[in-house]
């Protein structure tokens, strides 16, 4: 395994974060803080508690997950799309670097940035409401798995997209609405039975539920099912990435 090449790609991607600090870190933290203020104040004044948890604290895992999903996709998709846009991807493909090393480097950098951002948002939220993480190991596990999984999705989108507009298509039209409808700001148990059953077809429900369970031992589905679904999504995206490199889809043209 070419460790030097992987480290070079990883460090290059991480350096882009510090060059665009306002876009990469500060803007998402401010946006999430505004979500917290609006939802925590406006709705929290009417909904004091959800299953024994103050509403302000209850939405913290959902807010972190919302930012984690969007930033993981954005970081990975732009990271691989830009070399395709400039044509430098061909230099990378002709270098003595395997497909696995390319994926690990780009996805690893995108996941690292997303995890860092998630931890910053967690620290910021602690300034607004008292937080208790009952299962730190599970919290970190779900944080890492979700970041890696959706960085892989972002990598796939970056390969698929043939314009900057398409990079935003899936996050804005699919991922963000599913996150809002996936129990990020409410408990699925608060819904009528029919809509509760419909909501369980939303894959984001399992990610948010497992992450929230690590904080409060409170989830819309069992933590084992949440973990299993997260691993399933990870496996699916790995298979798709493998197919892309095996067929050369959008890479050799």
Give the model confidence (pLDDT) of 160-219 as tens digits.
998 888 888 888 889 989 988 898 888 888 889 998 999 999 999 999 999 999 999 999
pLDDT confidence bin for 147, thresholds 50/70/90: very high
Please report the pLDDT score of residue 4 as a whole number.
87
Say how many domains are in the chain. Answer: 1
Whether 148 is in a domain gets the answer: yes
Query: CA-to-CA distance for 231 and 148, rounded, in angstroms?
Result: 10
**Res. 41 pLDDT band, cuts 50 70 90:** low
DSSP designation for 190: G
The pLDDT confidence band at residue 93, using thresholds 50, 70 and 90, is confident
The CA distances from residue 120 to 19, 31, 61, 117, in Å, are 18, 13, 13, 5
The count of C-alpha atoms lying within 13 angstroms of the C-alpha of 166, restricted to the half-sphere facing its C-beta, is: 12
Give me the domain span that covers residue 48: 3-247
Q: Is residue 253 part of a domain?
A: no
Q: Confidence band (pLDDT; 50, 70, 90) for 61?
A: very high
The answer on pLDDT for 252 being more than 80 is no
Q: pTM to 2 decimals?
A: 0.91
Does any domain span residue 252?
no
């Amino acid at each position: 395994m070419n460790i030097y090449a992987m480290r070079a790609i990883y460090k290059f991607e991480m350096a882009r974060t510090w060059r665009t600090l306002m876009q990469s870190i500060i803007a998402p933290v401010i946006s999430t803080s505004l979500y917290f203020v609006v939802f925590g104040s406006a709705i929290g004044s009417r909904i004091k508690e959800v299953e024994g948890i103050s509403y302000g604290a209850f939405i913290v895992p959902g807010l972190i997950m919302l930012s984690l999903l969007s930033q993981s996709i954005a970081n990975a998709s732009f990271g691989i799309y830009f070399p395709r846009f400039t044509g430098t991807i061909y230099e990378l493909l002709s270098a003595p670097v395997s497909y696995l090393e390319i994926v690990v480097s780009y996805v690893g950098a995108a996941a690292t940035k997303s995890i860092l951002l998630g931890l910053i948002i967690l620290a910021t939220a602690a300034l607004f409401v008292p937080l208790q993480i009952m299962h730190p190991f599970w919290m970190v596990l779900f944080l890492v798995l979700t970041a890696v999984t959706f960085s892989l999705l972002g990598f796939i989108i970056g390969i698929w997209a043939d314009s900057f507009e398409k990079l935003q298509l899936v996050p804005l039209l699919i991922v963000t609405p599913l996150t809002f409808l996936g129990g990020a700001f409410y408990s699925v148990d608060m819904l009528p039975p029919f809509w509760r059953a419909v909501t369980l077809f939303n894959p984001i429900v399992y990610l948010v539920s497992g992450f929230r369970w690590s904080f409060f031992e409170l989830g819309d589905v069992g933590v084992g099912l949440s973990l299993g679904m997260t691993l399933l999504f990870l496996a699916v995206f790995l298979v798709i990435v493998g197919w892309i490199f095996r067929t050369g889809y959008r890479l050799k043209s």
